[in-house]
Amino acid sequence: MTGPDRAAVVAGLGSWVPPTVVTNDDLARQLDTSDEWISSRTGIRRRHVVDPGGSTGDLAVEAGRRALKSAGEERADVVVVATSTPDRPCPATAPEVADRLGLGGVGAFDIAAVCTGFVYGLGAAAGFVQAGFARSVLVIGADTFSTILNPADRTTRAIFGDGAGAVYLRAGAATEPGALKGLHLGSDGGQSDLIQVAAGGSRQRSTGRPAATEATYFTMEGRPVFAEAVRHMAASVTTTADAAGWAVEDIDKVVLHQANARILAAVAERIDLPPERFPSNIERVGNTVAASIPLALADASADGELLPGQRVVLGGFGGGLTWGSVALVWPDIPAV
């Protein structure tokens, strides 16, 4: 099948979080914070973190393996890993992930769009499939933000957790359940400083001066990020629904990047949809960055909240700034 009738179809779903759990009470024993302070502001009560020596690639491999199992497949033509915490600055993490999955010499590359990375990865995969360059693509969102947080920063340490989620996409018909449609992507590099790790890149290294310790950690300007996230995710969901030929009120589920419970509520209010249409697992895993959307999909599917035949929009917002969304009718696939 070629041409406009060919589409990338979601055929498998896998997820993985590391076993070590850090609760709000655990953080309160280390920092000036409390369970009430964290949960009332973010909706988060616990998060998972990698053990010493663990990496983003480790999580990506397990999520990818589970997505392949969910799809009943052993091969993929391309592997895309969306991450902002690669195992090393160079090379990309995806080729090693593909090798560890036993996929041989397939094409593999990373995408760095922070919390929107998974949506960008879906867009890249859809392009490969629709153009006929690939018959199947494994898209993995994985991050270990615990490795780049300031140990003394009670705000960021309360928000972020580690994890990975993956989908297996195959070539199929644009009319079948699981087919991606209505993709929308955007960015605003003029506000790149709102979400960043200042040191470690060419701009800082080219100075020839060692980086200040604080500059090696992740930082985020909370208030403007909140406002931008609500504005752009709401607009993107609306744009994508329209491109898919749906009225906003016809969307059954909106699975957004799990940044903050208040952001999810604000987006629901802005597009005038009831909050129960917004599945959320942020209480259990926190903000897992590029892993956030596929982890939320997997949990909603396992909980029976996400059902085959439902009209679903996936949406993200992250550093860059970046944002984006995509629509699909949810297929009948197992979450592994």
Quote the distance between the C-alpha of residue 135 and its chain's center.
Answer: 23
The answer to whether residue 184 is catalytic is no
Q: State whether residue 97 is helix, strand or coil.
A: helix
What is the spatial distance between Cα 263 and Cα 231, in angstroms, rounded to a whole number? 10
Q: Which of 184, 257, 260, 281 is catalytic?
A: 257
Q: Which of 115, 184, 232, 260 is catalytic?
A: 115
End-to-end CA distance of the chain: 29
The answer to whether residue 48 is catalytic is no
CA within 13 Å, CB half, 310: 21
Strands of 107-111's sheet in order across: 6-16, 162-173, 136-144, 78-82, 107-111
What is the spatial distance between Cα 198 and Cα 211, in angstroms, rounded to a whole number? 9
Cis amide prior to 328 (ω within 30 degrees):
no
* Residue 280: partners with Cβ closer than 8 Å, 6 or more residues away: 43, 258, 261, 264, 296
- Taking each helix axis from N to C terminus, what angle separates 117-130 and 292-302, rounded to the nearest 10 degrees? 90
The answer to whether residue 260 is catalytic is no
- Residues with active-site annotation: 115, 257, 287
